[in-house]
């Protein structure tokens, strides 16, 4: 005998097997159409693109009081609802001209009298606007353009791609919003609210941005020159001695030997023409800082002579240890190691390091010669031509000029032809740095 299986709970039908009885009206329903009424009718509202909150609306109806077109009854075309209860938005519901040929009705059924009244209900479209735009919008803008109507149709009936494109266009549009304010004299003026908002945003975003001086310092930090003081008011403040010589190295430099020789009227000879021509005068003036600067400059010149050329890009490398010790035997190892760490990268110097060394030597020559130096002796010590030597001084902000007659006489140069081969580098305020040249644009054919 086959067993009857009980249906699972999921297989049971939740709907009742019997239909509920509906009581039919006992009498015939009387239907009537209300064509004219003095009271406000019910309204059917559509909300395209917005989610309408719970708001209290105020109805408005325009009725001309006189004239050939005077109206005394309710007209759906002149009816609208308005609400300003939202803190920032205004909601307005008004009939659309495109729906003028359609009629909508609401049925009101009275079970006590079995009567059904069909009341005309205008179809309105609810839209929201920003209150500032509503106050300042001109009357000419109230009539929608053909393009705006197409966008509305696209939002209602367009494809997903079309709706996304219209929404993106709306989000990226910046419409002028005018805010009325008064100036100090009380005169009414207009300001662009969007422009003010953009300017405020830019001001907030640029509050922490570096200023012009900070950007200039950052630019000079990457150049192979001593860090200049761009706010200096005199040449001596542009490259102070603390920038040209590290304080630790400055304390390790001794000039007692030079002072003793000058006091004994002995001649001081060095491997540098620049140093040899100036040591007696600098020591005789008694300026210890200039003596140490001249001594440190001699160290840099001898260390540069001990380097070997490396590659075609103008780089150099340190020589062998025994060669370096032989050429720099008069200097202590602490000073030599300090120069290596400051101007070399390991055992090599690329083009940037070489230029950095040359500009520091040029800046020391300016310090020793009171910020106006004859470049001839230094050019010979560094084995450079006039163009290269002048370029290093230009990088420091100097003006390189020919000798004047007064300068030629002070340097005791009798021949004008010899004086024409010499140049004077002067550091003046304002500084004259080389202009950045932009590459020429490629020609298009």
Q: Is residue 392 part of a domain?
A: yes
Q: Is residue 370 part of a domain?
A: yes
Domain boundary among 90, 115, 137: 137
Q: Is residue 151 part of a domain?
A: no
Number of domains forming the structure of the chain: 2
Give the model's confidence band at 179: pLDDT under 50 very low, under 70 low, under 90 confident, else very high. very low
Give the per-residue pLDDT at 176.
Answer: 46
Give the per-residue pLDDT at 86.
Answer: 80
Whether residues 379 and 252 share a domain: the answer is yes
Nearest to 299, CA basis, from 261, 346, 256, 250: 250
Nearest to 378, CA basis, from 294, 283, 252: 294
Cα(225)–Cα(338) distance, rounded to whole angstroms?
18
- Strand runs labelled E in 294-413: 308-310, 315-317, 348-349, 372-374, 399-402
Whether residues 260 and 130 share a domain: the answer is no
Which range is most confident: 46-60, 86-100, 378-392? 378-392
* pLDDT, mean of residues 83-89: 81
Give the per-residue pLDDT at 188.
Answer: 47
Cα(26)–Cα(174) distance, rounded to whole angstroms?
64
Whether residues 293 and 395 share a domain: the answer is yes
Domain boundary among 70, 105, 137: 137
Whether residues 231 and 106 share a domain: the answer is no
**Element (H or E) spanning 118, and its range?**
strand 115-120
Give the per-residue pLDDT at 19.
Answer: 60
Q: Is residue 432 part of a domain?
A: no
Whether residues 236 and 125 share a domain: the answer is no
**Element (H or E) spanning 123, and its range?**
strand 123-130
Q: By the 8 A CB rule, do 351 and 359 touch? A: no
Q: Is residue 1 part of a domain?
A: no
Q: Is residue 347 part of a domain?
A: yes
Cβ-Cβ contacts under 8 Å for 36 (sequence gap 6 or more): 73, 74
Name the burial class of residue 279, with classes exposed (0-12), middle (13-18) and buried (19+) by CB atoms within 10 angstroms of its CB.
buried
Whether residues 106 and 245 share a domain: the answer is no
What count of other Cβ atoms lies within 10 Å of the Cβ of residue 157? 9
Cα(183)–Cα(96) distance, rounded to whole angstroms?
42
Cα(425)–Cα(377) distance, rounded to whole angstroms?
12
Whether residues 266 and 397 share a domain: the answer is yes
List the domain range (segments joined by +) for residue 288. Answer: 226-426
Domain boundary among 137, 157, 178: 137
Cβ-Cβ contacts under 8 Å for 366 (sequence gap 6 or more): 235, 239, 372, 373, 393, 396, 398, 425, 427
Whether residues 126 and 254 share a domain: the answer is no
Q: Is residue 18 part of a domain?
A: no
Q: Is residue 216 part of a domain?
A: no
Q: What is the pLDDT of residues 318-367, one digit of tens each?
A: 887 778 878 888 898 889 889 999 999 888 899 999 999 999 999 999 99
Whether residues 246 and 120 share a domain: the answer is no
| Model pTM score | 0.54
Q: What is the pLDDT of residues 254-303, one digit of tens each?
A: 999 999 999 999 999 999 999 999 999 999 999 999 999 999 999 999 99
Q: What is the pLDDT of residues 295-327, one digit of tens each?
A: 999 999 999 999 988 877 788 998 877 788 788
């Amino acid at each position: 005998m086959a067993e009857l299986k009980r249906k699972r709970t999921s297989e049971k039908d939740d709907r009742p097997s019997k239909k509920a009885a509906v009581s039919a009206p006992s009498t015939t329903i009387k239907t009537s159409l209300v064509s004219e009424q003095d009271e406000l009718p019910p309204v059917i509202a559509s909300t395209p693109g917005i989610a309408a909150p719970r708001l209290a609306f105020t109805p408005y109806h325009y009725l001309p009081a006189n004239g050939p077109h005077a109206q005394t009854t309710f007209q759906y075309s002149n009816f609208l609802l308005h609400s300003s209860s939202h803190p920032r938005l205004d909601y307005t519901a008004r009939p659309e001209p495109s729906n003028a040929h359609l009629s909508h009705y609401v049925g009101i059924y009275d079970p006590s009298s079995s009567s059904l009244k069909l009341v005309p209900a205008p179809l309105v479209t609810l839209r929201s606007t920003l209150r500032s735009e509503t106050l300042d919008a001109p009357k000419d803008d109230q009539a929608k353009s053909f393009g705006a109507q197409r966008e509305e149709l696209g939002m209602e009936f367009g494809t997903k791609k079309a709706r996304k494109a219209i929404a993106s266009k709306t989000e990226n549009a910046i419409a002028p919003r005018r805010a009325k304010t008064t100036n100090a004299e009380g005169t009414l003026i207009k300001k662009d609210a969007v422009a003010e908002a953009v300017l405020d945003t830019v001001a907030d975003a640029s509050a922490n941005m570096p200023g012009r001086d900070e950007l200039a310092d950052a630019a000079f930090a990457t150049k192979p020159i001593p860090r200049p003081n761009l706010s200096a008011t005199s040449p001596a403040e542009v490259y102070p001695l603390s920038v040209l010589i590290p304080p630790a190295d400055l304390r390790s430099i001794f000039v007692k030997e030079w002072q003793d020789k000058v006091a004994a009227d002995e001649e001081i000879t060095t491997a540098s023409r620049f140093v040899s021509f100036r040591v007696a005068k600098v020591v005789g003036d008694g300026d210890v800082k200039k003596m140490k600067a001249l001594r440190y400059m001699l160290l840099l010149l001898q260390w540069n002579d001990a380097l070997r050329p490396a590659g075609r890009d103008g780089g150099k490398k340190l020589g062998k240890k025994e060669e370096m010790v032989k050429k720099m035997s008069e200097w202590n190892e602490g000073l030599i190691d300090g120069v290596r760490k400051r101007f070399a990268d390991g055992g090599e110097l690329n083009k940037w390091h070489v230029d950095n060394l040359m500009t520091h030597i040029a800046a020391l020559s300016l310090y020793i010669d009171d910020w106006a130096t004859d470049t001839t002796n230094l050019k010979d010590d560094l084995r450079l031509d006039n163009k290269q030597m002048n370029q290093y001084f230009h990088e420091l902000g100097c003006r390189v000029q020919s000798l004047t007659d007064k300068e030629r006489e002070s340097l005791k140069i009798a021949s004008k032809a010899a004086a024409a081969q010499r140049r004077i580098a002067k550091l003046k305020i304002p500084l004259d740095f080389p202009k950045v040249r932009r590459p020429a644009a490629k020609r298009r054919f």
